[in-house]
């Protein structure tokens, strides 16, 4: 009786593995092949470091309109601001405000007047300044819709924009917003090629799908779930069909046909990795919102800031605030912490300082640790602080591949049921990351299993590279044998009919 049930189960699992394999075998092969590229190349984007380094320096002045005066002049009372910054474009300082809905509002800081839409000539000047006038501009075209290189909805507020093509051997294209004058994307031909070989097929990052965020998420989750089922059925079949052969301790497959035999072998060796890889890919999408965000919630952010961000708090002119700065100032960001306004002064070198926004004081390298502890306790009023550490190197949760996350960072552990931990950048007064029990689990089942970024391995190159390449080769071999078997099975079905 038990034997019959086992046969029925095996038959059903074979059916599941065969048909899910038919649906996903080619996709799995693309995922593994693109994984080799993803080890070294991601989706092209213009990083903040390059933006600051190449930005036009802000010239200090005592005659600017203060944010407070701007607030009154344009009646900005009913707005909820996500970010407020000051930049310089074509020699003129500009306030750039973005509300919580993503819409931008730009005003000249020297007059308080609204900035008109930037035209093609302004876009050319912005690109020339960014490149140091070292490259000629080939042509420029207006862009009213998101394209393959700006496929996320966060780019929508920048539209309409301009694609500015440079006359260089790299095929460089710069994207400039007509709304903000911001150069928000830059890539070249090599970036595009690597993207088509890596992140685009790996993340299913095709523009017409990716711009519909929820649909894209649903597609990736659905494919991952089917992939998980396929892997589980394959692992079951691989174990059930194992047969040891007399006289050959290494031979355990009952199959005589080459492709069946090698699919069994590669599945037996690399099947578990393939399963953990597709499972971790599923968790990368945070399905069903089971893991909390690593960022502050809107309510916690309001407590951390001590209220909402508002220009009316800043009575000191930004131009006057940076009067004594010796380094090139690329950008000023208006921020609020514990109820007090601060200018975060961002230099071209990538360093930053804090300056009070309502009193003329010398720039601060950082705020004291106690002020951060107090704000964490304000978010969790009934919870005790368990431990406070200042990290000068990365740990298992605060890290990144290229070691570009800022250090030092203040780590504050709480004695609550969720074992909450805050990582705070003391130089910017901002929470860099937040972890709870479930987000820690997500860190290991997603990043740990998907990228093998375990602390003992991740920063040991080329050991990490060697191990990941071997596993990807195994997954690729498994996918190829599965694809061949799928094709052979399909041809038999077609011929039979």
What b/e readout covers 320-355, taking b as 16+ CB neighbours within 10 angstroms? ebbeebeeebbbbbbbbbbebbbbbbbbbeeebbbb
Give residue 123's pLDDT: 96
Question: Which own/partner pairs from 294-297 qualify as long-range (CB within 8 Å, at least 24 positions apart)?
Answer: 294/433, 294/434, 294/435, 294/439, 295/431, 295/433, 295/434, 296/379, 296/431, 296/434
Question: Could you tell me the pTM of the whole model?
Answer: 0.91
Position 310 pLDDT exceeds 80 = yes
Mean pLDDT of 337-341: 96
pLDDT band at 247 (very low <50, low <70, confident <90, very high): low
Give residue 7's pLDDT: 80
Give residue 197's pLDDT: 97
Mean pLDDT of 177-195: 97
Give residue 321's pLDDT: 87
**Candidate from 86-95, 127-136, 247-256 with smallest mean pLDDT:** 247-256
Q: pLDDT of 52-83, one tens digit each?
A: 999 999 998 888 999 999 999 998 888 899 99
Domain residue extents for the chain:
2-40+212-289+465-496, 48-197
Strand partners, 434: 422
Position 497 pLDDT exceeds 60 = no
Q: pLDDT of 267-283, one tens digit each?
A: 988 999 999 999 999 99
Position 165 pLDDT exceeds 60 = yes
Is the four-CA dihedral 229, 232, 234, 236 of positive or negative sign?
negative
């Amino acid at each position: 009786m038990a034997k019959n049930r086992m046969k029925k189960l095996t038959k059903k699992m074979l059916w599941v593995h065969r048909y899910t394999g038919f649906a996903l075998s080619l996709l799995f092969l693309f995922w593994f092949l693109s994984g080799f590229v993803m080890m070294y190349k991601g989706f092209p984007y213009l990083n903040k470091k390059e933006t600051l380094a190449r930005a036009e320096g802000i010239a200090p002045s005592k005659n600017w309109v203060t944010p407070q005066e701007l607030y009154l002049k344009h009646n900005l009372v009913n707005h909820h601001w996500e970010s407020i910054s000051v930049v310089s474009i074509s020699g003129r300082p500009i306030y750039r405000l973005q509300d919580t809905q993503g819409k931008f509002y730009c005003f000249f800081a020297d007059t308080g007047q609204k900035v008109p839409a930037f035209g093609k000539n302004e876009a050319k000047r912005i690109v020339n300044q960014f490149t140091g006038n070292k490259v000629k501009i080939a042509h420029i075209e207006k862009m009213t819709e998101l394209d393959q290189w700006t496929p996320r909805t966060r780019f929508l507020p920048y539209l309409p924009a301009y694609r500015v093509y440079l006359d260089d051997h790299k095929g460089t294209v710069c994207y400039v917003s007509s709304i903000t004058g911001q150069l928000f994307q830059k890539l070249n031909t090599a970036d595009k090629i690597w993207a088509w070989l890596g992140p685009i097929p790996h993340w299913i990052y095709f523009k017409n799908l990716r711009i519909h965020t929820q649909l894209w998420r649903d597609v990736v989750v659905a494919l991952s779930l089917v992939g998980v089922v396929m892997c589980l059925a394959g692992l079951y079949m691989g174990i059930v069909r194992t047969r040891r052969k007399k006289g050959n301790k290494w031979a355990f497959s009952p199959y005589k046909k080459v492709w069946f035999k090698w699919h069994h072998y590669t599945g037996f060796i690399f099947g578990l990795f393939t399963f953990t890889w597709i499972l971790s890919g599923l968790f990368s999408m945070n399905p069903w919102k089971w893991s909390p965000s690593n960022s502050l919630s809107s309510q916690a952010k309001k407590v951390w800031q001590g209220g909402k961000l508002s220009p009316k708090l800043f009575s000191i002119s930004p131009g006057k605030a940076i009067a004594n700065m010796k380094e090139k100032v690329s950008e000023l960001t208006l921020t609020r912490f514990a109820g007090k306004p601060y200018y975060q002064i961002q230099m071209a070198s990538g360093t930053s300082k804090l300056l009070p926004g309502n009193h003329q004081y010398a720039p601060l390298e950082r705020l004291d640790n106690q002020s951060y502890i107090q704000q964490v306790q304000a978010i969790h009023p009934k919870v005790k602080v368990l431990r406070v550490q200042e990290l000068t190197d990365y740990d298992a949760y605060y890290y990144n591949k290229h070691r570009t996350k800022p250090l030092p960072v203040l780590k504050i552990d709480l004695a609550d049921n969720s074992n909450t931990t805050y990582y705070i950048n003391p130089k910017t007064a901002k929470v860099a990351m937040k972890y709870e029990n479930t987000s820690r689990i997500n860190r290991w089942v997603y990043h740990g299993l998907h990228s093998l970024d375990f602390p003992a391995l991740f920063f040991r190159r080329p050991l990490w590279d060697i191990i990941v390449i071997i596993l990807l080769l195994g997954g690729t071999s498994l996918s190829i044998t599965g694809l061949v078997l799928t094709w052979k099975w399909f041809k038999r079905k077609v011929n039979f009919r």
